[in-house]
Amino acid sequence: MLRMEFTAHADIRIRARSNGTQEVFDVIRKSWVRYTPEERVRQHVIRFLTGPCGYPASMMSVEREIRLGELRKKFDLLLYDRVHRPWMMVECKAPEVPLTEAVLMQILRYHMAVPAPFLVMTNGHECLAVDIGDGQVHWLEAWPLYP
């Protein structure tokens, strides 16, 4: 299991809506989005990856549509390497959603549409990652260096 520190991030901007919901400013999408429990995890993951891990925000894409046969789905977060090849896909779940085999199968399905050597699953409490770049599954215990 990987360590991911979710500390208070002063740069996470949240605003209240008149309907009682909240929105958060997504620095990657450069827009206000609904602040759901899953979005909270995603925003903390983005801050962690661009902060302590040093991954470039300019090489990240958030909630883009992919096609799985006839199905249209959206990945949570995708990082590209320096030559713009998919490098790491991150699946974020709300804190109350356990990281089960179903979550692993979900990210593996997304991987079929967008192959990336590193796959990460997190709910903010747990963080599991695999390196499948050589076709074998290797569970990671440390964050890979950005290529």
Give the separation between CA 52 and CA 61, rounded to whole angstroms. Answer: 19
Q: What tokens appear for 64 in the block? A: 């883009």
Q: Band the pLDDT of 8: cuts 50, 70, 90.
A: low
37-51 confidence digits (pLDDT tens): 999 999 999 999 998
Is the CB of residue 76 less than 8 Å from the CB of residue 63?
yes
- Our CA angle for 14, 39, 4, nearest 5°, is 100
22-74 confidence digits (pLDDT tens): 999 999 999 999 999 999 999 999 999 998 899 999 999 999 999 988 989 99
Q: Band the pLDDT of 10: cuts 50, 70, 90.
A: low
pTM to 2 decimal places: 0.92
Give the separation between CA 2 and CA 106, rounded to whole angstroms. Answer: 19
Q: Is the pLDDT of residue 19 over 70?
A: yes
85-144 confidence digits (pLDDT tens): 999 999 999 999 999 999 999 999 999 999 999 999 999 999 999 999 898 889 999 999
pLDDT at 133: 87
Distances (CA, A) of 143 to 3, 35, 69, 129: 8, 26, 31, 9
pLDDT at 9: 61
Is the CB of residue 92 less than 8 Å from the CB of residue 62?
no
Report strand pairing: 65-68 vs 71-74: antiparallel
Give the separation between CA 92 and CA 120, rounded to whole angstroms. Answer: 8
Residue with tokens 């996470």: 12
Q: What tokens appear for 72 in the block? A: 């249209």
* Amino acid, single-letter form, for residue 53: C
Closest CA to 124 of 36, 4, 13: 4
pLDDT at 126: 93
Q: What tokens appear for 12 in the block? A: 């996470």
CATH class of the domain comprising 14-139: alpha beta
